[in-house]
Amino acid sequence: MFKQVMKKIGVIVLALTLLILDLTLLGAFPLLTQDGKFSLVEQIGYGIWALGSLAIFIVIAYRFKLLSLKEINWRRLVAIASLNLVIFFLGDLLGYFVGQLTHNATMENQDALNAIFAHVPFYLHLVVAGFIIPIMEEIIFRGLLAKVLFGKYFKTGLVISSLLFMAGHSAFTLQTIVIYGIMSAGLAITYYKTKRIEYSMGVHILNNSIVVLLSLFV
């Protein structure tokens, strides 16, 4: 029993390490060049690394039966994603007003991500932040932490993993707690109700992709 738990924790640590490395390398490559730009060679190198990391995550997910080959109900996914996006938008609005009222409107996590992606080509930004990272985060937080590690205590696992998800996004002010708390709850409830992580992945991917696309106009 103890060995099994430690094995699961080891896999979670490995997954977290890969996720952190993905973001760290993305921000580090341009800083190592004189002009501060992401060269073509670096883009190719990072792309290979990112896809390799994603492949490892997919293998882990299948190993622990988090992903299924069953066909996804796309109408259901669109309906669930649409509902979640409306709720997330309202949560962002509420968070904005809370930030104004508390005179603490800083978004440390978003500021850090903006700094990382400042010199990254848009297509790479979209692929990594809009697609790869959401898949990794869902496998780690909703999958490995909530379902695999907590097992029959799945509900408790969802609550704890949601809190860790918030902490991982620097949700330490009232504003960020509101914003990431609502988002984390939406993703957790989606997984709990559908019993398939593909649906929470879909919601997360769509949300992040929209955020990246909107960054073009902000």
Rounded mean pLDDT, 176-180? 94
Phi and psi torsions of 150, nearest 5° = -90, -15
- Which pLDDT band, with edges at 50, 70 and 90, does 179 fall under? very high
- 98-102, 113-117, 134-138, 165-169 — which is least confidently predicted? 113-117
Question: Strand, coil or helix: what is 103?
Answer: coil
Instruction: List pLDDT tens digits, range 6-38.
Output: 999 999 999 999 999 988 887 776 666 656 677
- The total number of structural domains that make up the chain: 1
Give residue 46's identity as a one-letter amino acid code: Y
Would the pLDDT of 90 be above 60? yes
Contacts of residue 44, Cβ cutoff 8 Å, sequence gap at least 6 = none
- The residue count of the chain comes to 218
Q: Structure pTM?
A: 0.92
Rounded mean pLDDT, 176-201? 96
Would the pLDDT of 172 be above 80? yes
**Is the Cβ–Cβ distance between 82 and 202 less than 8 Å?**
no
**Is the Cβ–Cβ distance between 186 and 203 less than 8 Å?**
yes
State which residues form the domain around 52. 2-217
